[in-house]
Structure 1
Amino acid sequence: MTTNEPPQNPQQPYPQDGYPQGGYPQQPYPGQPYGGQYPPQTPPAKKRKKWPWILGGIILLFVAMFGGCMALIGGAANEIDKEINREIAVTYRVTGTGSGSITWTDKDFNMAQETDASLPWEKQVTISGFGKTASLSVTNSSDDGATSTCEIIVDGQVKYTQTAKGAYASAHCSGSVD
């Protein structure tokens, strides 16, 4: 045999290509790392537990909501306290002829009365509390020609007025002074 061919080995497939038994070496494809070999095996990353983060987020949300509600309630309570303590100056005035029995509300809805008061009559009071309401009533004396007019005045403006004519007639003024 005078050829330049390698000898044929029955145990080695494809002896003419010059590669060892086991086939052709694999060439890397474009974008394939490690020269066509599998990448080295790395241990899987340890998974972090998600439930502590979820629980922490829920607790944080609860604390934020609770704090917001407390701030809102505190602000509302502060505004209510300011309104209760705010005072308004009110003038009660009764004009007319003769005399009459006069009843009015004072601070904190306290009732006061003056019987057989000579007209004209005037009184200044301070109203406070949550529902700032003023009330004034006058009842004429027994004189048939008696007339009386009640007025509630706030900041120089007549807010409520009513007139009564005749013996024992009554005029009543009341309402909010806010």
Structure 2
Amino acid sequence: MTRIVPPSQTVSELYGADVIAARIEALAGTIVADLGTDLVGVAVLKGSFMYAADLLRALHRHGAHVEVDFMMLSSYGAGTESSGQVRVLRDITSPVEGRTVLLIDDILESGRTLAYAKDLLSARGAERVAVTVLLEKPGKRATQIDPEYVGFTCPDLFVVGYGMDCAHCFRELPFIGVMDP
């Protein structure tokens, strides 16, 4: 299915809203079974906001009580490729010492940002830091990190929608798509 979205750019649907919702519901059940019901959920902004919101609601439906916090990290600067250096733009305020943390991100490519965040939370005394990503691109990995919970293994395409953007556009789309040439 192809949809027209502003500014006159077409986006072909890769994962539809119903497919995403069903996968998140299944992930939530697995996460609660593995990690229990007392969690600190740390969403990595900005791209994960839709995934995090839907996952947190699904975790609640599965009986979890999640303290929610947010972290904003950057390794891109103004470019489209990682600089390799991660900066904390917004840090969490929740104490994580002795807690189980679920680190939530939209997409895992190079792994630098998530590895940095996981190490940082572990260094702050988290008992366990588990990683969930909606999309994983295994061929792009530049550092060793394996997420415990993956929504979809994504082809090596530039994706937008469901929180992910291109030049700050398309985050609002209810599906994940690929911009047509």
TM-score (norm 1): 0.22
Structure number with the bigger relative contact order (C-alpha 8 A, sep ≥ 6) is 2
Larger radius of gyration: 1
TM-score (norm 2): 0.22
